[in-house]
Structure 1
Amino acid sequence: MRKKTFHEAYMETLYDIYYNPEYLNSPRGQKSKEQLNYHLTLENPIERVTYLPSRKTNIVFNFAEVLWYLSGSNNLDFISYYNKKMPLYSMNKKTLTGTAYGPKIFEFGNAKLNQWNRIKNLLTREDIDSKRAFIQIFDASELFVSGNIDVSCTIGLQFFIREDKLYMSSVMRANDAFRGMVSDLFSFTFMQELMARELHLEVGEYFHNVGSIHIYESDNEWAKTVLEEAKNHNGISAFEFPKMPTGNNWIFIETVLEYEALLRKDQISMSKQDIETLDLPEYWKQILLLFSIYQHIAYKRDMDHSLFQGLLPIYQFFVRNKWFNYFSTKQKEEI
């Protein structure tokens, strides 16, 4: 499958798996519809979101998850603040193993290998045409942990520089077509763009390869609702997803992570004016606005609506759509 945007690819994938599954099975007792050896190509990976209102994309979680990866953390407290179901996948209720891709990327194995820096150096200092710029995520040792409930779904990510563009290919052993695909492609294409900006390259195509792509029976009704809505949607968005600033964004990521932790732990609150005064590009200020809005939601406080007004229209759409009751009646909706 080749599509211009994730929205288009998501709708076609969902339709295909839901109505044309190759297999009906129950891995680990969970009934699902499944296809094997799935592939898609995104021509414009920056357009990494789906806009259908019934799907209720959680843009705050999307940014939080990829920044969790980029922080190198496996801390459950970080990500469970944004998704209350994450503790279900932790064996010790303190950390995550398979789901936490950050330690795999930046401190892989006993040698604590920084794979991100290695492939960046490989592509810039050794061989611009390299076929070896691969970040390994899945570790064979995960299958030898008795009762492991959190095995990495992603095998790895491969980067290619071709004709002054950075292409990326992901390989996954399994992917939930309804839920996981939304956040996984957001994170992977975000990392592709981050690397491209750092290397001063244009963003090339993104390739998504999955061994088993599936929809769990528990999501059938919701998936059907989304597909019904898609029949009356032309697939064209009124928004354009923001582009990351060119250059090395790591100093900005570090600043955002510093404030994210303070907001998450409720050690500070930030107004729109507070965020505006920070020495950050607007792209990263917008993410802090989202985290500040979510702090009000998570701690069930009245909203500072100036934060919402400071958001770009695309982010206003996602926040209002996800937490409609909160913004219309002040009722606090659980994430």
Structure 2
Amino acid sequence: MRQYLDLLRLVYERGELKGSRAVLESTGTKPKTRSLFGYQNRYDLTQGFPLVTTKTVPFRQVVVEVLWFLSGSTNVDYLQRHNVKIWDQWADETGELGPIYGKQWRAWEGGDGQHVDQVAELLRGIEQVKADPTASAARRLILTAWNPADLPKIHGPSGCHTLCQFSMNNGKLSCQLYQRSADLFLGVPWNIASYALLTHLIAKVTGLEAAEFIHTFGDAHIYENHLDQVGEQLTREPYPLPKLEIDDSVTSLDGLTPEQFRLVGYRHHARLSGEVAV
């Protein structure tokens, strides 16, 4: 995970000071950030699963969230039943978050009221390209969470991981994510794991090999209340990457359970915590 640590160090040492709209609930203040606009990292998925090792990242919770997105749900009930509470602070009294990722992925709504299951379209496109590498779908394997008409209806973060595009060649599948806003200390380790997992999962159900995850950033930033933790993290030497195992019973993106995923050999440094700015 040298790629992630190199970006973390760059922003920590040379990021420009910027204000932010987010608020710390503990103090009611808006923390400033050290920020960099525009950056890209690449992760070879054949060399191990890119889970940060210089602190602990809760892999099972990452799995639960990805399965929640794929289910199309926008209510935290599923997450809470699996003891995942990362979205609770944005949910309303019924547990609803508005039209966030799950809704956009599985029921994108156009201006005419038509709903599009982008995940199903993505899988169909991959099969078309497998049958004919020159098919027009080859450069249109896109999953987007950015729907301007829905943004005002969202309670929590809106489309931070904005759009991902898949590419396949010679039986291998790669994914590039464009992330418009990236909390480097708390959010990005989770985002890397999420989209690496999604790439492996889509490769699994389509009979392909996961090849590469490319992570492209808009505003990459460190909140000032995380600077001490980042300083500590940058003193730590990363461990070898773990391996991801997906059960052979996984043949579809529907009806999945967290027990069908296993991380092998995850060695990590001690936990580093920080308050989320909301």
**Considering the TM-score relative to the shorter chain, is it more than 0.5?**
yes
Q: How does 1:1-335 map to 2 (within 5 A)?
A: 7-28=1-22, 29-44=30-45, 46-52=48-54, 55-80=55-80, 82-92=83-93, 94-97=95-98, 100-109=100-109, 110-125=113-128, 127-129=132-134, 130-145=138-153, 148-228=155-235, 230=236, 233=237, 235-237=238-240, 240-245=242-247, 248-250=250-252, 254=255, 256=257, 284=260, 286=262, 313-314=265-266
| Amino acid paired to 1:174 | S
Whose RCO is larger (CA < 8 A, sep 6+)? 2
| Paired residue secondary structure (1:50) | coil
Determine which structure has the larger strand proportion and give its number. Answer: 2
- Asked whether the equivalents of residues 97 and 150 of structure 1 are also in contact (C-alpha less than 8 Å), the reply is no
| Amino acid paired to 1:89 | W
TM-score (norm 1): 0.67
| Amino acid paired to 1:284 | Q
Q: What's the offset of the Cα at 1:23?
A: 3.8
Q: What's the offset of the Cα at 1:210?
A: 1.4
Q: Kindly tell me: are residues 313 and 97 of structure 1, through their superposed partners in 2, closer, same or farther at Cα, counting changes over 3 Å?
A: same
| Amino acid paired to 1:20 | R
Paired residues, what number?
A: 255
Q: What's the offset of the Cα at 1:176?
A: 0.8
Q: Kindly tell me: are residues 285 and 41 of structure 1, through their superposed partners in 2, closer, same or farther at Cα, counting changes over 3 Å?
A: closer
| Amino acid paired to 1:122 | G
Q: Deviations over 1:56-75 (max 9, x none)?
A: 32223222211211222111
Which residue of structure 2 aligns with residue 294 of structure 1? none
Q: Kindly tell me: are residues 247 and 38 of structure 1, through their superposed partners in 2, closer, same or farther at Cα, counting changes over 3 Å?
A: farther
Determine which structure has the larger helix proportion and give its number. Answer: 1
- Asked whether the equivalents of residues 106 and 115 of structure 1 are also in contact (C-alpha less than 8 Å), the reply is yes
CA distance in 2, matches of 1:35, 1:213: 5
Q: Kindly tell me: are residues 193 and 104 of structure 1, through their superposed partners in 2, closer, same or farther at Cα, counting changes over 3 Å?
A: same
Which residue of structure 2 aligns with residue 309 of structure 1? none
CA distance in 1, matches of 2:13, 2:77: 38
Unaligned ranges ≥5, structure 2: 23-29, 272-278
CA distance in 1, matches of 2:164, 2:249: 21
| Paired residue secondary structure (1:11) | helix
| Amino acid paired to 1:163 | N
- Asked whether the equivalents of residues 142 and 148 of structure 1 are also in contact (C-alpha less than 8 Å), the reply is no
- Asked whether the equivalents of residues 245 and 261 of structure 2 are also in contact (C-alpha less than 8 Å), the reply is no
- Asked whether the equivalents of residues 242 and 265 of structure 2 are also in contact (C-alpha less than 8 Å), the reply is no
CA distance in 2, matches of 1:132, 1:199: 17
What RMSD in Å do the two structures reach over aligned CA positions? 2.9
Q: What's the offset of the Cα at 1:86?
A: 2.3
CA distance in 2, matches of 1:236, 1:152: 31
- Asked whether the equivalents of residues 23 and 35 of structure 1 are also in contact (C-alpha less than 8 Å), the reply is no
- Asked whether the equivalents of residues 61 and 83 of structure 1 are also in contact (C-alpha less than 8 Å), the reply is yes
Look at both structures and tell me which one has the larger radius of gyration over its CA atoms: 1
Q: Deviations over 1:165-184 (max 9, x none)?
A: 11111112111111111111
| Amino acid paired to 1:17 | V
- Asked whether the equivalents of residues 158 and 170 of structure 1 are also in contact (C-alpha less than 8 Å), the reply is yes
CA distance in 2, matches of 1:89, 1:212: 22
Q: Kindly tell me: are residues 179 and 82 of structure 1, through their superposed partners in 2, closer, same or farther at Cα, counting changes over 3 Å?
A: farther
Q: What's the offset of the Cα at 1:137?
A: 0.8
| Paired residue secondary structure (1:36) | strand
